[in-house]
Structures are given as structure tokens and as C-alpha cells.
Amino acid sequence: MFFALKVDFLITKIQPLVTRQYLHTTTSCPKKVVPSNLKGKSKGSQEWLTRQLNDPYVLKARTENYRARSAYKLIEIDDKHKILRPGQVVIDCGASPGSWSQVVVKRVNGDGKDVNQRKGLVVAVDLIGIYPIDGVTIVPNSDFTSKNTQNLIHQVLDGRKVDVILSDMAPNASGVHDLDYESILTLVYAAIEFSIGSLKRGGTLLFKIWEGGREKQIEQDLLQFYEKVTRVKPNASRSDSSEKFLIASKFKGITSVPPNV
């Protein structure tokens, strides 16, 4: 508790000074802030605390009321690629703590606050809990890869087709590269498979993947169902992270095979 309060103090009092310089400067980096209370903490905690204090997106998220810095990855991607629009139906997979859903609900008018625009529908799914977000239907404690969860999502959709599927899902890393990579591939292919059965023609799938050698194959698989695949690495994604995002756009739809053919 005491540690949490201390961290909070450091982030709110010291980081603004760092952030003010850093977010508005592209030519030079500020000096790294080293927290003064690292004594007795594990190396991992020390690194985490130092990184948090020096990360401009962490403070920006706090001041703009986003639950996580990852909000800025989606904001950046959507500002450039124009995926989200008012009135859309969006599924946010791996949504906890909820910052992507916070972004989505504003952009698709999921809470109906803009009476001049169509109201969207946002469904957020995660293995763990998600605190309520106005305008978001939450499917908590649910494994997206399970058929039960996917049936539950279809119940919420109540026959509506989906415009956009987002997946920021990531497995808990074990540290064993091959194992972790297989785990994220399972999540990626679950999202791809689900998208084929639920997207509208012209719809979009945006998902996270780690570098690991199978990206080309994933892109080829996607191109059977989507007209275009774009790789993106937003600035808000840490440069030392192997994560990147793929946008599969213009879903071709499923052409039904006539009976007896």
C-alpha cells in the first residue's frame, strides 16, 4: 500500500516535469529521471519504476483518464488508418483494463452521447475482469478462444454483423520464447477465425502480434479473406518491444456455396 502511494506520488509530482519537455520535443531526449526510493526493491521493480517515471505516455494516460498507456497505440493507429466511425459494432478482445474500449466508445458513439450521430455497440471481452465503462457491454472472466465465450458474444450481438474486431490479446509471458510465440499465435488465429464468421463485408480486423517468424504466413492466410493487410508499429508501442499490429481490411465476406455443388 505504502509502495503504491509512493509510486503514485512519484508519477504525479515528478513525471509532469519530464513529460512536458518530452512530448513536445522531437529533437532531444530529456535526462532520465531516477527514482530516489529504489533501495531494497528487486531489480525488476526498480526497472519498472524507472521506466514508468520516464514514460511520457504513462502520465498522459493518467491526465487524460485512460486506464492504460496502450490507449495511445489505438489512437495513433486509428488517427492514421481511420478504422473507427460512429455507429459501428466493435468487439474488443483482450480488453482489460479497458483503455482501448474507452477510445472505441468515444469514436463509435457507443454511449450515444452525440445525439446527432448513430449509436455504436462496443463489446469488451477478457480473461479477467474489467471495471464498467459507460456504453460498453463487458464479457469478463472469459477465454476468447472458447466456443462458449464466442457464443456469448453472438448472443450480445443478437444477429448484428460486426464492423471491426480489435485484439490486443497477449498471453502471460513465460519467458520461453517459442512457447510464448505459440500462445500468441493461438490468440491471433482465434481472432482471425472469429472474424470470418462475424464481420460484415468490408469489415476490419486489427490485432497484435509479436515478432517470431510466422508473420508472412499470417499475412498470406489473411489475404484469402481480406483485400489488404498493413503492418503498423505505433510510436506509443515501446521500441524495445517486439509487438506490432496487423490491420486486415476490406473483409471479402463469405461467398456461400450453393447446395449440391
Ligand X SMILES: C[S@@+](CC[C@H](N)C(=O)[O-])C[C@H]1O[C@@H](n2cnc3c(N)ncnc32)[C@H](O)[C@@H]1O
Question: In this chain, which stretch among 8-16, 27-35, 89-97, 234-242 interacts with ligand X, using CB under 6 A?
Answer: 89-97
**Judged by CB under 6 A, does residue 107 bind ligand X?**
no
Task: Tell me whether residue 244 is one of the annotated catalytic residues.
Answer: no
From the candidates 32, 208, 216, 244, which is the catalytic residue?
Answer: 208
Q: From the CB of 4, what's the least distance to ligand X, in Å?
A: 19
Question: In this chain, which stretch among 3-11, 23-31, 46-54, 162-170 interacts with ligand X, using CB under 6 A?
Answer: 162-170
**Judged by CB under 6 A, does residue 222 bind ligand X?**
no
Report the residue number whose CB is nearest to ligand X.
94
Q: From the CB of 240, what's the least distance to ligand X, in Å?
A: 16
**Judged by CB under 6 A, does residue 234 bind ligand X?**
no
Q: Taking CB under 6 A as the criterion, which residues in 169-188 touch ligand X? A: 169-171, 187
Strands of the sheet with 243-251, listed across from one edge: 136-139, 121-125, 89-93, 162-167, 199-210, 243-251, 226-232
H or E element at residue 251: strand 243-251
Q: Which residue has the cell 465465450?
A: 149
**Judged by CB under 6 A, does residue 84 bind ligand X?**
no
Residue 249 CB neighbours (<10 A) = 18
CA distance 6 to 220: 49
CA distance 184 to 170: 6
**Judged by CB under 6 A, does residue 78 bind ligand X?**
no
Identity of the amino acid at 183: S
Cell of 139: 464479457
**Judged by CB under 6 A, does residue 120 bind ligand X?**
no
Q: From the CB of 187, what's the least distance to ligand X, in Å?
A: 6
Residues linked to residue 165 through DSSP beta bridges, in sequence order: 91, 205
Calculated CA dihedral for residues 87, 91, 96, 98, nearest 10 degrees: -10
Q: Which of 143, 180, 219, 221 binds ligand X (CB under 6 A)?
A: 143
CA distance 93 to 187: 10
Residue closer to ligand X by CB (options 94, 120) is 94
**Enzyme catalytic residues:** 208
Which residues bind to ligand X, rule: CB under 6 A? 67-68, 70-71, 94-100, 125-128, 143-145, 168-171, 187
